[in-house]
Amino acid sequence: MKLHRHLTPYLLLLPAALWVLVFSLWPFLNTVVLSFTNARPLRPATFVALDNYAKVLHDPQVGYALVTCLVYVVACVPLLTLLPLLLSLLISAWMPGMSFFRTVYYFPVIASVVVVGIIWSWMFDSRGVINQSIEFLGGTGIDFLTSRWWILVCSILLTTWKGLGYYMVVYLAALGNISRDLHEAAALDGAGAWRRFWSITVPGVRGAMLLISALITTSAMRIFSEIYILTNGSGGPGGQAMSLVMLIQRKGSGLDGQLGYASALSVILFFLTIGPLLLTAFLNNGTDIAAIRSSAHQRRAYKKALQAVKAKARAGVAVGSAGSGHLTATDGPPGTRCAPPPTHLAQDTEARA
């Protein structure tokens, strides 16, 4: 019976552990191994050491892809960090029909990115709704889907519109943990709405803000669907608007795919995406680590002080024992013996007796 009780947790954990091992850990290790080979489909792989990584440094398409990912990060992080916070503040107050607006704002999250991307490609096409409206107002149409930077602008707007509702829910959960008493006390002290926002709301959602920033950074580095659908898989003129994931897909697909080179790009992408997550973990746990270190320092200082007090007490006992012939009942540390009475006092006492 005891054996069954001890094995039950491990048996329940086994399916999830096997899933992670087969579909996560093993593919990752296999990708790392392939990055050091010139593997191709239906051909034996040979070891090429760091040749694939050296090739990355001289590939201009890698530079285009890194610039695309960097622009995506710089644009999406502030947009999807601040706009959902403002939106959550607007709908957190109770008003009639507020549940309807919450549902409407969250609807883009559950919509398929493929369907949304196709709709946006129709809107920004050369003969789409946007260009038709511009020309109707007397302007000149804009080549949204044939210019590298306009493609990035359209895909960033699509990503922002689709992600607002998701991060809004995260902020709503964080705002629910902020006590209303803090806002009421600040209002009584004369603090305005802007002051309460910076002094109470922002510190209260700091953890959620760091988490959202890390998630957005990771997602922006791995962007694929939006650009792929808007450019119909071409990556823009000359492939200059391709992301790193699109480049990996292009290099590694087909019967002549460069699996070793694509694996090297995948390893580089892994280190680019793991950095923000580690930074977020460090910032979130920084206060806890500092508290633990301070507590440990206080315990060490307390132990040292206690040892010093005990050492002084032992030294006082030793001194009292050495000079016991000159001590009285009120001298010396506790625990020392009193000195015997002088000889003449003992003789007078015997005479009186």
**Of 96-105, 212-221, 241-250, 267-276, which range is least confident?**
96-105
Is residue 320 assigned to a domain?
Answer: no
pLDDT at 265 over 90: yes
Asked if the structure places residue 287 within a domain, the reply is: no
Q: What is the pLDDT of residue 178?
A: 85
What mean pLDDT is predicted for residues 323-332? 46
Q: What is the pLDDT of residues 160-190, one digit of tens each?
A: 999 999 999 999 889 888 888 888 888 888 8
- Please report the sign of the dihedral spanned by the C-alpha atoms of residue 341, residue 345, residue 348, residue 353: negative
285 vs 28 pLDDT, higher one: 28
The one-letter amino acid code at 193 reads A
pLDDT of residue 339: 47
Q: What is the pLDDT of residue 31?
A: 92
Q: What is the pLDDT of residue 65?
A: 93
Q: Residue 322 domain-assigned?
A: no
Tell which wins on pLDDT, 334 or 138. 138
Res 349 pLDDT > 50: no
For residues 182 and 136, is the Cβ–Cβ distance under 8 A? no
Question: What is the span of the domain harbouring residue 244?
Answer: 60-275
Q: Domain for residue 330, yes or no? A: no
Q: Which of residues 33 and 339 earns the better pLDDT score?
A: 33
Task: Kindly report the CATH number assigned to the domain that includes residue 85.
Answer: 1.10.3720.10
In this prediction, residue 126 carries a pLDDT of 83
Decide if pLDDT at 328 tops 50: no
Residue 335 banded pLDDT, cuts 50, 70, 90? very low
Average pLDDT over residues 193-204: 87
In percent, how much of the chain has pLDDT > 90?
Answer: 32
In a domain, 123, yes or no: yes
Which tokens belong to 320?
Answer: 């009292």
Q: What is the mean pLDDT of residues 243-264?
A: 90
Residue 184 domain-assigned (yes or no): yes
3-state per-residue secondary structure call for 255-321: CCCCHHHHHHHHHHHHHHHHHHHHHHHHHHHHHHHHHHHHHHHHHHHHHHHHHHHHHHHHHHHHHHH
> 286 or 90: which carries more pLDDT confidence?
90
* Residue 350's pLDDT band (cuts 50, 70, 90): very low
Take residue 91 and report the two structure tokens written for it.
Answer: 């709908």
Tell me what pLDDT residue 183 has. Answer: 82
Distance CA 47, CA 39 (A): 9
pLDDT at 74: 93
- Residue 351: which pLDDT band, with cuts at 50, 70 and 90? very low
Whether the pLDDT of residue 244 is over 90: the answer is: yes
Non-local CB neighbours of 217 within 8 Å, separated by 6+ positions: 73, 77, 273, 276
First to last CA, the chain: 83
Cα–Cα dist 190/169, whole Å: 30
Q: Could you read off the pLDDT of 91-125 as tens digits, one per residue?
A: 887 777 777 888 888 888 898 888 999 999 999 98
Query: What pLDDT does residue 287 have?
Result: 54
| pLDDT tens per residue across span 48-58 | 989 999 999 99
pLDDT for 85: 92
Highest mean pLDDT among 112-121, 284-293, 305-314, 344-353: 112-121
Whether the pTM exceeds 0.85: the reply is: no
Q: Label residue 295 by pLDDT band (50, 70, 90).
A: low
pLDDT digits (tens, 9 = 90+) for 57-83: 999 999 999 999 999 999 999 999 999
What is the reported pLDDT for 105? 84
Q: Report the distance separating Cα 74 and Cα 16, nearest Å.
A: 36
Number of domains in the chain: 1
Question: Is pLDDT above 70 for 308?
Answer: yes
| Higher pLDDT pick, 16 / 179 | 16
The answer to whether residue 337 sits within a structural domain is: no
Q: Return the bridge partners of 43, or none.
A: 40
The answer to whether residue 237 is domain-embedded is: yes
**What are residue 37's DSSP bridge partners?**
47
Radius of gyration of the CA atoms of the chain, in A: 36
What pLDDT is attached to residue 198?
A: 87
